[in-house]
Amino acid sequence: MPERDLQYLTELAAQLRVDSVRAAARAGSGHPTSSMSAADLMAVLFACHLRYDFEHPGNPANDHLIFSKGHASPLLYSLYKAAGVLSDEELLSFRQRGSRLEGHPTPRLPWVDVATGSLGQGLPVGVGVAMAGRLERLPYRVWVLCGDSELAEGSIWEAAEHAGSEGLANLTAIVDVNRLGQRGPTRHGWDTGAYARRFGAFGWHTIEIDGHDPGQIDFALGDARNTRRRPTAILAKTRKGEGVHEVENREGAHGKALKHPDQAVDELGGPRDVRIEVSRPDADAAPFRFAGNGAKPPAYRVGERVATRTAYGAALAALGSARGDVVALDGEVADSTRTEEFGKEHPERFFEMYIAEQQLVAAAVGLQVRGWKPYAATFAAFLTRAHDFIRMAGVSRADIRLVGSHAGVAIGEDGPSQMGLEDLAMMRTVHGSTVLYPCDANQTAALTAEMADLDGVSYLRTTRGDTPVIYPPGERFPVGGSRVLRHTPGDRATIVAAGVTVHEALAAADQLKEQGVPVGVIDLYSIKPVDTAALVEAATTTGNLITVEDHRIEGGLGDAVMDAVSELGPRVVKLAVTDLPGSATPEEQLADARIDRHAIADAVKRLL
């Protein structure tokens, strides 16, 4: 590398450190020392290897850079300033109310693909973006800046194994091995070999370098670009707080603005105005997309008995035929979730993620970065393992579709470890989420298609056992709607149910009618957003609501109904799973949980 280039890169890195110190000092908080350790790495990447058109962040040929160590946001924002897309004034708005420059990066900035900051997530999402690159046949690269502390997260190794086994050569992890975490030294300190052995065991090409030597960094990045058939991990030994004696390689300085920022800036050589001309992609490229043929969704006869999970599988396969942008992911339960139907019809768009639910959700987030429509399915119970990834998908404003099968005690003999009983509450709390719970096959098919164009995180809950088809094919079920299945002017109460309990509610209503007690029944298939108008009408006309759900009593359908009508003051009785189930038949499970037709009828009688 010519001397002038080394001098330029050194000056650029110094500027990035200065600006990281200044931004955190103005905010009075932040992570400048974590930014300073990686400044040389990012200076060389931006100046010599990144291919990105900042004027057109949607250019499909652009590389992707993900700061998995999202707390190093001052460094990222300083890079944007050096690239000429942020002003110094905006840089100094870091962490202030209304600023786009939040404490950890989010897609409020057009050059940020996903929100990061919950550690161990950037690399798994990067795997999904790299998968998209292979799928759409584009040459862009995915660069992920990781911290050494987050390599203790199991999700990092889920990502490492998947990327290695798939040979994702367009993916490079740049690990900032600065030795110090939040409270002290990391597990392996500066032993880059320890990390190299782990990545190497998963089939990665590894390179160990001095992370403050621009020549070594340039070589490593070039080597990564030229490596074929496997991803690359660059293990860069660095010093936290590099360049400032007060904090360099010192414990206790994590996550704090420097005490003497002016002195630090002087020590770093003062403010600069170095600019980076980031190379644009060689040419615009059109991402490959599969053709659609207008296939129709499955149709089931009223009176048939079909599991909603079966209808989901058939509907997803048909949707994949109709739309070339739909992809499906599975957590090694495709035969149970029925996602295997999509895999048979569209094998090139089906991704087996194995039993790695964090990587399952992260890959879906990465795929949607590039405009794909991912559906990711596993047992409802096992999605709880990926809750933090789902939460961060909401922060990222990611458009992903999650499907949880085998929900509730209705699964029967498998017992409580397999029963999704917390999923509705979990999904309702996610920012901007949609939560759907169909009761029959035709409703499931309609909602599966409806999800394709929803914004944000959407969730479809399906049932293991066969249930009666009560709706004719071809009907629409808009998000935020409901269906009134029983209603008379003399109704003395309204039963509100969803999924498997709809059928129990209908049976209870028929039983009560024979006893001279008319009640209404609402199928609340959209649990978020909820049909407030229908619930308010039921609350004001009958004054009594019975909610019944195959879910824990906290946070599910009952609470959704309460939120909608609480100001009106109706009597609301919530029937839900309150005890710890064991093994029993589905019918016995519903009875033991007191959410079957007999329990519903008894609850109405007690209320009245």
Residues labelled as active-site residues: 357
Q: d(Cα 53, Cα 212) in Å, to the nearest integer?
A: 27
Beta strands in 219-275 (DSSP E): 232-237
Mention every residue, 6+ apart, whose C-beta is less than 8 A from residue 224: 172, 205, 207, 232, 234
Q: d(Cα 144, Cα 156) in Å, to the nearest integer?
A: 12
Measured in residues, the chain has a length of 608
- Token couple for 568: 């009106």
- Token couple for 499: 């999924």
Q: d(Cα 404, Cα 78) in Å, to the nearest integer?
A: 41
Among 452, 450, 439, which Cα is nearest to 375's?
452
3-state class of 2 per DSSP? coil
User: Do residues 427 and 436 touch, judged by C-beta distance below 8 A?
Assistant: no
Radius of gyration of the chain (CA): 27
Q: How big, in percent rounded to 5, are the helix, strand and coil portions of the chain?
A: 40, 15, 40
Q: d(Cα 393, Cα 399) in Å, to the nearest integer?
A: 8
Q: d(Cα 260, Cα 237) in Å, to the nearest integer?
A: 26
3-state class of 205 per DSSP? strand
Among 157, 153, 234, which Cα is nearest to 192's?
234
For 440-461, the DSSP string reads SHHHHHHHHHHHTT--SEEEEE
Phi and psi at 505, nearest 5°, equal -65, -40
Strand order from edge to edge, sheet including 171-177 = 64-67, 142-147, 171-177, 232-237, 205-210
* H or E element that contains 390: helix 387-395
Phi and psi at 360, nearest 5°, equal -55, -50
